[in-house]
Amino acid sequence: MSKNEFQHVRSGEPLVISAGAFNAMLDAAQAHRNRKITLAPHGNGFDSLFIHVVNETGQTLQRFDVVGLNEPLETKNVDIFCNHIVFKGIKPQKKHRGKFAVLQQDAEPNMVVRACVYGATIAKIKVSSDSENENSELKYCDIKERETGYLVSGGQTEVLWIDSSTENRWAIIRIGSGRSTLFPVKLEKTGGENGDAEQAASWTYKVTDALTDEKLEEEVDPTASPHQWKRPTIGAMTAATFGYAHYDNDNEIVLGWINETIELEKCYEEEEDES
């Protein structure tokens, strides 16, 4: 009968480890380490995706602070690049809308820590006081330029839950779920004219997110780049009140369709009642 190489050792017996048993222990330890990498500390963010970021903001950051994802720390050494995902974390900029990480550990300047880039995590959100979100359910959030301490209402990241405090609110968000490519917007005319038989209309608008009531842009000409709305070259148009938009690769909002309509006049007089 062959000896069981995984047999327990009794007290006082000499410890003899076979190559097979030693290799099995190493494999088990490595599997345990790999499993831990997929989980946040204390179980936060289960099934979320975590990478490492180096704090290049120049300031000390706390757990659940926010950084914009700049470039990978290593791009020249292929072995390091392929086996260790480490991004440079910087103060969020406009280009980091929807492309940020939430730290899972405190971080001194230039310190490498774990951060959530996809899935559920805890974060802080500052709700805009000039929107209806202050007193209603918040659905989306995103970065604020140059701010690491919290996210702000509106944007592209889904809010799963948020507390009811009036200051920066604790929340559970889901990074990467995103909203659809197109999203509805409300339009309020701010200038321009309706046009006539000799010239095109020239309406401009304030653009507001229809889901969150976040003000997105002011004085928008929907026919100017990068917007895609096409008006008739002549003719009167009624101002729009609604439309659909998306963000382009530069995180600029683009109006694709708005409900401007042509003003039509009756082309004949109604016959008078002969009775």
Q: Does residue 263 contact residue 236 with C-beta atoms inside 8 Å?
A: yes
CATH numbers and ranges of domains, the chain: 41-175 (2.40.300), 183-262 (no CATH)
Q: Would strands 157-162 and 100-103 be described as parallel, antiparallel, or unpaired?
A: unpaired
Please work out, in degrees rounded to the nearest 5, the angle formed at the alpha carbon of residue 150 by the alpha carbons of 96 and 184: 60
Q: What is the pLDDT along the chain (275 residues), one digit of tens a residue?
A: 455 666 666 766 776 777 777 677 777 776 665 554 443 344 444 467 899 999 999 999 999 999 999 999 988 888 888 888 899 999 999 889 888 999 999 999 999 999 999 999 999 999 876 544 444 567 888 999 999 999 998 777 889 999 987 778 999 999 986 665 678 999 999 999 999 988 999 999 999 988 777 788 999 999 999 999 999 888 899 999 999 998 876 668 899 999 999 987 655 555 555 54
Residue 222 phi, psi dihedral angles, 5° rounding: -70, -10
Phi and psi, residue 33, nearest 5°: -65, -45
CB 159 within 8 A of CB 127: no
pTM to 2 decimal places:
0.58
